[in-house]
Amino acid sequence: MNLLTKTTLYFITVSLFVFFLGGIVVYQLIKVLENSKVNSELIGQMHKFSFDLAQSNLSLYNTVIISGGLVELHPAVSVREPIVQFEDTLIYDNIQKRYIPYRELSFYTVDNEKEVYHVHFYKSLIESDFLIEKVAMIVTLMVVIFLLAVYFLYRYFFRQIWADFFITIEKIEQFDISSPEIIDFPESMIVEFNRLNDVLKKMTERILNDFNGLKEFTANLSHEIQTPLAVIKSKNELILQNENAPKNLLKLSVDIQAQISRLSRLIKAISLLAKIDNRQFTNEEEVNLRLIIKHILDGFQDILELKLIHVNTIYQSEPDLLMNKELAELMLLNLIKNAVNHNILNGKIDIELSKDKLLIQNTGKLIDANPEKYFARFVKANPESESLGIGLSLVKKICDLYGFDIRYAYRNNLHIIEINFP
């Protein structure tokens, strides 16, 4: 839910609540005013009727129509409290065949012969109820028109006021850390947006400086460390070539040579990870994964024959992918290499490629470890292996770079790695 929708919903919700309570208050106020008006009319009629009755004897009358209402009088044996009382009541109308709301005024009075009567005046409330209904309809209509007008005006003014903010968001979305250009935010008439732009500009400048410094450090480290490694390696080879060197020294030299080779591979792998993190592989093209897989399998043919591993490939369709070709080859090489190295004698490898996913399954021993850690750096299935434990980490980095979803599972004695393409 975006900011405009959320604020609009809040405003409409509060407005409806306020109008609902206000409508109840207005309704009750109009009702009170109308009742007050009717009460005043009934009081006036009561005084006039009492005066007329005091001048003559109306005991022969039972029910008469007075001023559009009804009046009933009955001889009263005694006077009860309250002497004057207002009530709302319903009276059945034979003409309209329904009950009509009336306002009732009951009181006690006497005629010229001092006879006491209990009198009931009734005033129809049809007109007042009709007026209240019309007022309620008009108020409701005005509320609906008001809310609609506010909704559309609010959206219009929201776009006008927040236009600079959306420009800032768009520039941040287009920000590329590998680009040397510094973001230039436009000047805004709103002070808060200018503060936000200043903070973002300083932050992006620091990010670019840190990124360039880290990239330069990684490149220098990778380059400079190769020279002493080459010197150590060459001097160690001289010891290995010396026929008069003691056997224990030769054994130490062999161990040193292995560690030098491991260190050299480690530096290259970490440098590669840093380049991927820094998005230095910018050249993208349409890659043919099928041809790359075939080329890699040809390179592993001798090992596959030696371990008697059967490879089954299914190519349903070729996915449309824009990737750096070097990274695509590196990703598939590490996946296939992992499937070969961790396989068993007389095992199998199944590779299935379709438009939306790549599936690689291979036989192998069950690994007693957390599958979520397989894509972490320096995690190895076999601690005694000479592997750096960084191959699947490279694969994960490449997948994250291009938005691929990679998953691992172990089912039916098969290690399964599935990559879903966006």
- Convert the pLDDT of each residue in 133-148 to its tens digit: 887 788 888 888 888 8
* Cβ proximity of 147 and 139 under 8 Å: no
> Using CA atoms in the order 70, 73, 78, 83, what is the torsion angle rounded to 10 degrees?
30
The confidence score (pLDDT) of residue 140 equals 82
The verdict on domain 285-420 having CATH code 3.40.50.10860 is: no
Helices (H), 162-280: 163-173, 191-224, 226-241, 247-277
The confidence score (pLDDT) of residue 178 equals 67
CA-closest candidate to residue 399, choices 331, 348, 336, 353:
331
Residue 348's pLDDT band (cuts 50, 70, 90): very high
Mean pLDDT over each residue of the chain, to the nearest integer: 79
Listed by start position, the domains of the chain span 3-150, 168-220, 225-277, 285-420
Q: Is the peptide bond before 383 cis (omega within 30 degrees of 0)?
A: no
pTM of the complete model: 0.49
CA distances from 364 to 299, 353, 361 (A): 21, 21, 10
Tens digits of residue pLDDT in 355-413: 889 999 999 887 765 555 666 654 555 544 444 457 788 888 888 888 889 888 888 88
Dist CA 215 CA 276 (whole Å): 11
Dist CA 245 CA 419 (whole Å): 52
pLDDT-wise least confident of 5-14, 265-274, 390-399: 265-274
Residue 256's pLDDT band (cuts 50, 70, 90): confident
Higher pLDDT, 211 or 89: 89
Strand partners, 353: 315, 358
